[in-house]
Amino acid sequence: MPKDFSAPSRASKPAGAGKKRAVAPKWDSARSEAPAKRDGRKGYASNKGDYVPKSERIVEVDRKPRTARPDSESDRKPRTARPAFDGDRKPRTSRPDFDADRKPRASRDFDGDRKPRAARDFDGDRKPRTGGRDFDPARKTFSERPDRVARDNDRNKTFEGARAKSSTGKTFSQDVKLERLESATDAATFATFQEMDLPDRLTQELAKMGAATPFPIQAATIPVAMAGQDVLGRGKTGSGKTIAFGVPLVAMLAAAGNQPREARKPRALVLAPTRELAEQIDRTLSQLAKSVGFFTTTIYGGVPQFRQEQALKRGVDIAIATPGRLEDLMAQGLVDLSGVERIVIDEADHMCELGFVEPVTRILEATGDSQKLLFSATLDKQVANLVKRFMPNPYVYEVPGEVNETSDIDHIVLTMEPRDRSQIFHRLVQGEGKSIVFVRTKATAEALSQSLNDAGVSTARLHGDLNQAQRTKNLERFTHGAARVMIATDVAARGIHVDDVKLVIQLDLPEEYKTYLHRAGRTGRAGRSGTVVSLVPLGRTRKVEGLLERADRKAKYVHVTPGDKVISDLAGPIAPPPIVDSLDFGDSRFETTNKSAVKKNLRERSSGNKLYAAKDRRFRQR
């Protein structure tokens, strides 16, 4: 049946559909006439009032004009003068004297007319307190936990002697000389590194670094550490402690053979208190480790942790870290210390001070039963609790002859008038040798370095407000001789190794004798000689005398004025300004760069890849 494609039919529209309805005009409505108001006028009537067109409004012209307002001033009588009150008023009579007509008050005797108060016996008329707190000294402690009981007892024993000596019964933290740890263990020493049964490559690398023969602390502690015993080593700064603990770490890793590295699990750990000391340790250990096929990495704060994460993921053998950043990575699960076989704590006394002892304790607990090596320039009873907990039977070694050692470091105290300090200090830093100046605050370091640079003395600064890049750059300038003077706070007092430091100038004296020793250790390193100069106002030498007494050092006291021969002998001749071969121009564009030549050189340096070379050929053929 064929389909019907015609349009569907639609219903027809009505005749009037689609047209607008006609509306009659307003004035052409069914009304016979236009609307009118109530009074018959044209307009609209409204409840609110009648509206009248403006053109038909009636203006009232039958109103009389307003008369002028009378002048109020002209029709008012003038005010008469007010009578004077002084003339018609009687003078005031004098006030009666109340003292004259009053009888004197009779004195009252409070002692005679009052009965004496009966004495009260507080012990006899008061009932004993029930249900209260027992103040019996022999009572049990509030907490029955054994760790808290032991903590409270230990704290009471610690402060008992201090409270007895103090007149107020309070204890104060003072710089007191602590008793040194003593060792009852004797060990054999060796005259050369070859006798210690070290790998040949390791001994060759030591010879390249200038360590052909071991120092006393190295000869005594390396054999003991390689035997697996815990070690406590004390020696002055510059005595070779880094090699003393670095050689056993590398040698024992080499003795274990070539083992695959595990991600995030270092096999050896070195803890350092500062970033600068961690970098210095890495410069020494990286050379020793690479000589036998091992790798190191540094972990410290102040820099992004991405590179440190990548190094740990690839696997490292020795990690040199500061406690703060290491704990952060441990909390993030980026490092696991369960595989650490040996741990070294450099500057152990500084680690045990407030702020470091708790992180170090947690890190030592994470390493388990690993071998512990503790080294520092000052090793005393302050680390006794740490040693007692983690090192039951350590070998303690102290470099002999360092108690009253003054052979290679001279200590001089210059007393002067306060007005002469600027001239004397300026002459001291004008010498040819390198000088490290220690100050108390970061603001002093900034201001003093700027003043010396303005005076023509090339100066670098080192303090806690600088980031890691600025610290590294300033240390390189001072190490390479671009700056002869380094203004530093105590952040540089521990572990910074700079060769050829002639003078250590203490512009501000430290608060502790151990800080004095670490400051003095910046000079006279590795057998060299040096001088420590302390600037003290005249008549105020009591503080420096106490520091030297606790540090077991003897100093020479000299009163100086500007121009004295003693100052020129200490500083030496005035050095000329340094000649700089190259300057840092930043991002300045002086030479035109040929980009095509740069790309060509990069292609020539890189080795070709067959896959990408085939792709390049196909692309060129197109």
Query: What are the domain boundaries of the chain?
Result: 194-398, 409-571
CATH topology for 409-571 is: Rossmann fold (3.40.50)
The dihedral sign for the CA sequence 25, 31, 32, 36: negative
Contact between 248 and 234 (Cβ < 8 Å)? no
Which of 446-450, 517-521, 523-527 shows the lowest per-residue confidence on average (mean pLDDT)? Answer: 523-527
List beta partners, residue 395: 231
58, pLDDT greater than 80: no
User: Which two structure tokens, joined as six digits, stand for 21?
Assistant: 């309805």
pLDDT tens-place string over residues 375-399: 876 666 667 778 888 888 888 887 7
Tens digits of residue pLDDT in 253-294: 999 888 889 999 999 999 998 888 898 899 999 999 999 999
CATH architecture of the region 194-398: 3-Layer(aba) Sandwich (3.40)
Q: Do domains 194-398 and 409-571 have the same CATH topology?
A: yes
Give the mean pLDDT of the chain: 77
The beta strand positions in 549-601, using DSSP E, are 556-559
559: left (phi > 0), else alpha (psi -120 to 50), else beta?
beta
pLDDT attached to residue 51: 63
User: Are 232 and 387 spatial neighbours (Cβ–Cβ below 8 Å)?
Assistant: yes
Q: Mean of the pLDDT values across residues 448-455?
A: 93
Contact 51, 43 (CB under 8 A): yes
DSSP 264-304: T--SEEEE-SSHHHHHHHHHHHHHHHHHTT--EEEE-SSS-
- 54: Cβ contacts below 8 Å, ≥ 6 apart: none
The model's pTM is 0.58
* Lowest mean per-residue pLDDT among 26-30, 288-292, 583-587: 26-30
pLDDT digit string (tens) for 69-83? 666 555 667 777 666
Helix (H) or strand (E) holding 373: strand 371-376
Contact present, 412 and 532 (Cβ < 8 Å): yes
pLDDT at residue 481 is higher than 80: yes
Residue 273: name the closest of 327, 344, 323, 326 by CA.
323
Contact 508, 444 (CB under 8 A): yes
Q: How far apart are CA 404 and CA 517, in angstroms?
A: 12
Helix (H) or strand (E) holding 513: helix 513-520
> Six-digit token pair at 156?
């009471």
CA distance linking residue 281 with residue 278, whole number of Å: 5
CB 551 within 8 A of CB 524: no
Q: What is the pLDDT of residues 484-500, one digit of tens each?
A: 999 999 876 665 677 78
- 552: exposed, middle or buried (C-beta count within 10 Å: 0-12, 13-18, 19+)? middle
Residue 591 backbone phi and psi in degrees, to 5 = -95, 140
CA dist 559 and 566 (Å) reads 10
Percent of the chain with pLDDT over 90: 32
